[in-house]
Amino acid sequence: MKNSIKILTLVAIIMVSSLLMFGTKENVEKETVTTEESDLNTSETYQIRALKIPDNLEFAGEVVPLKKSGVRERIDRELLVNTYWQSNGLLLIKRAHKYFPIIEPILEKNGVPNDFKYLAVIESGLQNVTSPAGAKGFWQIMPHTAKENGLEVNSNVDERYHIEKATEVACKYLKAAKERFGNWTMAAAAYNAGNAGMARKIRDQKVDDYYDLLLGEETKRYLPRIVAVKEILSNPTKYGFIFDNEDLYNLKPIKLIEVDTAISNIAVFSKNLGINYNILKTHNPWLRENKLNNKSRKLYSIKIPSEI
């Protein structure tokens, strides 16, 4: 009896161990199906392709020297990152349709190449964002640069959020940088690294070509990123972005209300115009509080929808 019990116990232990080690037939089959489905997902339903880099890339009429050491790889990196970050790419395409019509005429009026609209794209994603360093708006302008160029910057009004005025300041900066460094590529790099920073690099390294300079990571990626975004936004379907015109964002028609006095309560002011506080502030993000101090009796133009 005792021997029988020992034998049965031993058999039970072996069976349990086998189940733990190998699982049931049903579990094995399930694992096999899961693996096959997983293989299917990656190899057939979703493909990540290497990208072919166009040979004729240029920025502001200046050729990107793809044969120079490392330049092709730098461009390839930015094309890959911006192509396969699909949600961001599609949002950039949608916002560009809304905001490029504002930016393009200002660039043209100031004699700045149209390609600089893509600089605004990589600076802010065409949003009124704030950087850790305190740069703000579509063009990421620092407070001292804004004030030096005539923008009002305080807790009540911050015209770095005024897209038209901020674009004018960006144009002024870029034209001065181009005059100093001799070409638009270096002007764009200086927008990121600063005029003094670029001048120091040129002096220390004894070269004056952006693609020959040893730069910090952000400035090193800056022009390739602009070039990649230009290429993708100019040829979206080539890079897999599929959309209809109705999917894109559009600017609503607006009219201007001129004000040369203080506004004690913008919410009440909005209601009197037949709109609400949210609508008025969305159209005028440079108004930073629920009031406009205007002690100097400055003339402000406030945007409101033309169709209420």
Location of structure tokens 């959309």: 243
Average pLDDT, the chain: 89
Average pLDDT over residues 183-201: 97
Asked whether residue 244 carries a pLDDT value surpassing 80, the answer given is yes
Residue 40 has a pLDDT of: 57
Residue 26 has a pLDDT of: 43
Percent residues over pLDDT 70 in the chain:
85
The verdict on domain 58-247 having CATH code 1.10.530.10 is yes
Residue-wise pLDDT tens digits, 70-96: 999 999 999 999 999 999 999 999 999
Residue 46 has a pLDDT of: 75
Residue 21 has a pLDDT of: 42
Percent residues over pLDDT 90 in the chain:
83
Residue 130 has a pLDDT of: 96
Asked whether residue 207 carries a pLDDT value surpassing 90, the answer given is yes
Among 32-41, 181-190, 207-216, 230-239, whose mean pLDDT is lowest? Answer: 32-41
Asked whether residue 133 carries a pLDDT value surpassing 70, the answer given is yes
Predicted TM-score (pTM) of the model is: 0.85
Whether residue 262 contacts residue 135, with contact meaning beta carbons closer than 8 Å, is answered with no
Residue 44 has a pLDDT of: 67
Residue 150 has a pLDDT of: 95
